[in-house]
Amino acid sequence: MMLRYALQTIRDRKGGFLGAFLALMCAAALITACGTLLETGLRGRIATERYAAAPLVVSADQNVHRTTVKHKGNGKTKVKHKAKPVAERAWLPADILDRVSALEGVGKAVPELTFMAQPMSSRPVSGRSASSQAATSSRPTSGQAAGRGEGGARSEPRPLAESRPQSEPRPLAHLSARPSYGHSWASAPLTPFRLVAGRAPSADDDVVIDRVLAGQNGLKPGDRLIVQSTRAPRPYRISGIAAPAGQRDLRQQTSLFFSSGEAERLAARPGRITALGVTPAPGTDLARLKQRVEQALKGTSAQVATGEDRGPVEFLDAAGARIKLVSMGGAMGGTSLLVAILVVVGTFALSIQQRHRELALLRAIAATPGQIRRLLGREALVVGAAAGVLGVLAGLPLADWLHGRFIDMGAIPVTLERTAGVFPACAALVVTLVGAWAAARISGRRIARIRPAEAMAESAVERGPARGRIVAGLVLLAGGAALVGVLSVLRTEAAATPVTFLAVVVSATAVSLLGPYLVRFASVLLAGPLRAAGAGGSLATANIRGNSARMASVVTPLTLLIGMTCTVLFVQPTLGDAARTQARDGVRATWVLAAQGPGVPSEAAGAVRGEPGVTAATEVVRTTVRVGLDKYQAQGVTQAGLARTWDPDVTSGSLTAFTHGHDTAAISELAADRLGLRPGSALRLHLGDGTPASLTVAAVYRRGLGFGDLTLPHDLLARHMDNPLAATVLVAGHGSRDELAAALQRFPGLSVLSAETADRLQADRQQENAAVNYLAMGLILAFTAIAVVNALAMSVSERIREFAMLRLAGATRRQVLRMLRAEALSVLLISTALGSGIALAVLTAFSIGMTGSAAPSVLPLLYATVVGAAALLALAATALPGRLALRARPAETAMSRQ
């Protein structure tokens, strides 16, 4: 009976339930999308490509481990083991090949070398056909023969000028599409790759490229290809073109194959290999072979992978992106859930407030409180079920779009495939149903508890908030203040970011609970200006005072929208501007060398050092290291002449001591405080590839935001990085730009920038990185904006009878619309003040904790845009429903609403 009445009520009052339906549907879509991203991070498939023909792959452990033993009072001990991934690829000792090859059941063991190899530009064959060039390229050139001594020693790379055809180089079309890796041709069977044109690489300047690279750029055997790898860029002759046998081309990487000697030189890891691909002998069970290999390698850092576990071995960035996606999806999902609860409760409160008279009448005719609660609960479940299903269906393509956008922005690699399981959809549906039911029960609790004799009187006059609501609002207000206080002492971005947005949501929730009082207080302040606006302003003042609860339900989402938007927009500039200011103040260089490709090779820095007037050229590489299990940003710098190019603002110790020691480190004040270190202390860490190192702290500096937490010797850091090329080179002295550019002519893709230009480019890169956060939070802001429009439209649509009575009392349509505009502007002013105040408090606390300064970066034009957009939403969502409501004849409307 109660369910039938609930369905009839929904059918007869579609407009009243539409707002709640839209809020729930958007909430379900948002939770589904965020949950799908979270599940992708937890269970996303990383399919192998290069190791497709190797059923078993041996690789190095990519984690740093820590085991702690805790002794309990009852004599027992608790052992806890933790592991964290390292930033760079860990390598295996090459002698593992012999140990594995000798095992029973091993058919073939193929060592793999994987290293950076980025094609920069190409030159077509000059003076003869491609076929003749390919035919003659199998014979060693005179330069190659002269370069080899007895025993076939590898020749040194020829200078670029000696092997350049006369034609100009052309850029490659694939450069921005996929990562590019170099390998030894001996590891081609791991895919397996087969030649489709030309021959295998035999000389040090031969290279085999994959069919996709050749097709995209019109390359053929005999053409020249300039490749930037771990050393200076070098031209190679394309000796052949290869493609995977029996499978489609590689979609997620570009493969270049070199001769064994050249691959070892470019990998720059003598005596080590990337991985080992193992093929079982015929009739050997793979599971048993895996057990044998694991037993043989027990006690080493080697790990054995089969099946889908081979993908994370091949694509380390995809495995690392899982953690990032879990963090991003969790943060988005948690914030979305809190915002959804706040919005949905507010929407239901407004919807039930519109039906206050109807529900009061039910109480007056002897409906029990339990019946009222069950009625509201069943209505909410029906609306929540319909909205949840549609929201889930909309959330799945939204998750797919988000995944694609994150890939396009470089936040996650294409190798991490999206997982579309049933858990996010089921969770979103459950949350929608429970949220709708709880919101309806909470919002209707007051009308259900009043006595039947008081019900009609209660519906006629708006009363103040219940005591419990006031207490809850004060508690949340104190909680928001506590979060702001905590935020001011958090000094890492990973810890501060979730607290930042949580503080905004908690504060906005306090506003929603205390909203009627805040609106009444604001109406006193706005009474004078509104009366000056004429009759419409006076009517607006009376409505705001007399209907503060209704106005508060509109103020809440608008406050949340402004507060959240300002926080999202100004958090990254606050941190980025502080970091750039420190870097700008600490860089003494006259010029900065930058690269369009993967980096600046050491040979280019050496060429610049030899130029007249150059006093120092500091190479800078960047990565992350682990101190214990904690991750720290680290930079490696060449130490010679460092004081001429770099000033980190040393507060204790000596930069001279750092520059004269190969086992020394400089550390930021923040890291020193966290780790309890000072000059002379021992710093034990794991480098980018997990190699342990022990250094002595020589200096502590203040400018940690600009230069990272740790500064280490360049060679120490670069030897353990996948990309050892310098991110930048700082050049000090009086050399001119033209002289430096002339010295870099044989290094393609390098440019000489002024310090000011480099700073502007850094600002642009920060903006690009911030775009990921803007996209992540943009959906939540869009949801909040929809809630704002929804609440305003619902608030206006319920007042049709009120407008009709005003018209019958002599008010014109223009006066009524002017009253609505005055109310909308009042709501906007209140929401702007509250939202801006929340954002300013949160941003100031964030700035204090992260930068040490209580001066967040707030861009006035961007802030004005936020307020202007909110004003546009408020006015449009008020004016359009108001005009529709005023179309009906006043007398008919007043009679029909009696």
Q: What is the pairing mode between strands 170-171 and 664-668?
A: unpaired
Average confidence (pLDDT) over 304-316: 91
For residues 23 and 790, the answer to whether their CB atoms sit within 8 Å is: yes
Mean predicted lDDT score pLDDT of the chain: 83
The tokens for 558 are 């608008």
| pLDDT of the residue at 546 | 67
| pLDDT of the residue at 119 | 92
Per-residue pLDDT band at 164 (split at 50, 70, 90): very low
- Measured between alpha carbons, how far is 506 from 485 in angstroms, rounded to an integer? 13
Tens digits of per-residue pLDDT, 509-545?
898 888 888 888 887 777 777 666 666 667 777 777 7
pLDDT at residue 812 tops 60: yes
For residues 92 and 302, the answer to whether their CB atoms sit within 8 Å is: yes
Average confidence (pLDDT) over 323-348: 77
| pLDDT of the residue at 364 | 73
How many C-beta neighbours within 10 Å does residue 446 have?
Answer: 16
Q: Please name the amino acid found at residue 416.
A: L
Average confidence (pLDDT) over 683-701: 95
- Measured between alpha carbons, how far is 339 from 560 in angstroms, rounded to an integer? 8
pLDDT at residue 291 tops 90: yes
- Measured between alpha carbons, how far is 3 from 382 in angstroms, rounded to an integer? 9
Tens digits of per-residue pLDDT, 31-45?
898 889 888 888 888
The tokens for 194 are 């087969």
Per-residue pLDDT band at 75 (split at 50, 70, 90): low
How many C-beta neighbours within 10 Å does residue 116 have?
Answer: 22
Give kind and range of the element (H or E) at residue 432.
helix 422-443
| pLDDT of the residue at 851 | 87
CA distances from 542 to 530, 549, 809, 894 (A): 10, 13, 16, 21
- Measured between alpha carbons, how far is 643 from 616 in angstroms, rounded to an integer? 9
Least-confidence region, from 415-429, 781-795, 822-836: 781-795
User: What residue ranges do the domains of the chain occupy?
Assistant: 1-46+318-461, 48-110+276-314, 114-268, 518-581+762-898, 597-748
Q: Please name the amino acid found at residue 401.
A: W
Average confidence (pLDDT) over 145-168: 37
- Measured between alpha carbons, how far is 578 from 584 in angstroms, rounded to an integer? 10
Average confidence (pLDDT) over 642-648: 93
Closest alpha carbon to 316 in 253, 237, 399, 222: 253
- Measured between alpha carbons, how far is 594 from 614 in angstroms, rounded to an integer? 17
What percent of the chain is predicted at pLDDT more than 70? Answer: 85
- Measured between alpha carbons, how far is 292 from 785 in angstroms, rounded to an integer? 60
pLDDT at residue 634 tops 80: yes
| pLDDT of the residue at 3 | 59
Least-confidence region, from 132-146, 191-205, 552-566: 132-146
| pLDDT of the residue at 466 | 65
| pLDDT of the residue at 366 | 66
- Measured between alpha carbons, how far is 202 from 195 in angstroms, rounded to an integer? 14
pTM over 0.85: no
| pLDDT of the residue at 892 | 59
* Helix 860-885 × helix 800-808 angle, to 10°: 70
DSSP string over 650-674: EEEE-HHHHHT-TTEEEEEHHHHHH
Per-residue pLDDT band at 891 (split at 50, 70, 90): low
Give kind and range of the element (H or E) at residue 599.
none
Q: What is the pairing mode between strands 180-184 and 254-258?
A: parallel
The tokens for 890 are 């006043």
What percent of the chain is predicted at pLDDT more than 90? Answer: 40
| pLDDT of the residue at 836 | 94
- Measured between alpha carbons, how far is 130 from 683 in angstroms, rounded to an integer? 57
Query: Between the CA atoms of 766, 769, 770 and 775, what dihedral angle is there, to the nearest 10 degrees?
Result: 160
pLDDT at residue 722 tops 90: yes
pLDDT at residue 129 tops 70: no
| pLDDT of the residue at 533 | 65
Q: What is the pairing mode between strands 92-93 and 272-273?
A: antiparallel
Q: What is the pairing mode between strands 224-228 and 254-258?
A: unpaired
pLDDT at residue 895 tops 60: no
pLDDT at residue 226 tops 80: yes
Average confidence (pLDDT) over 711-739: 92
Residues in the chain: 898
Tens digits of per-residue pLDDT, 850-866?
888 888 999 899 899 99
| pLDDT of the residue at 163 | 38
Give kind and range of the element (H or E) at residue 196.
strand 193-198
pLDDT at residue 139 tops 70: no
Average confidence (pLDDT) over 492-517: 87
Q: For 118, which DSSP code?
A: E
For residues 323 and 85, the answer to whether their CB atoms sit within 8 Å is: yes
pLDDT at residue 307 tops 80: yes
| pLDDT of the residue at 815 | 79
pLDDT at residue 116 tops 60: yes
For residues 798 and 863, the answer to whether their CB atoms sit within 8 Å is: no
| pLDDT of the residue at 6 | 59
- Measured between alpha carbons, how far is 506 from 580 in angstroms, rounded to an integer? 31
**In a 10 Å sphere around its CB, with 0-12 CB exposed, 13-18 middle and 19+ buried, how is residue 879 labelled?**
middle
Tens digits of per-residue pLDDT, 758-792?
888 877 777 766 777 778 778 778 887 877 787 77
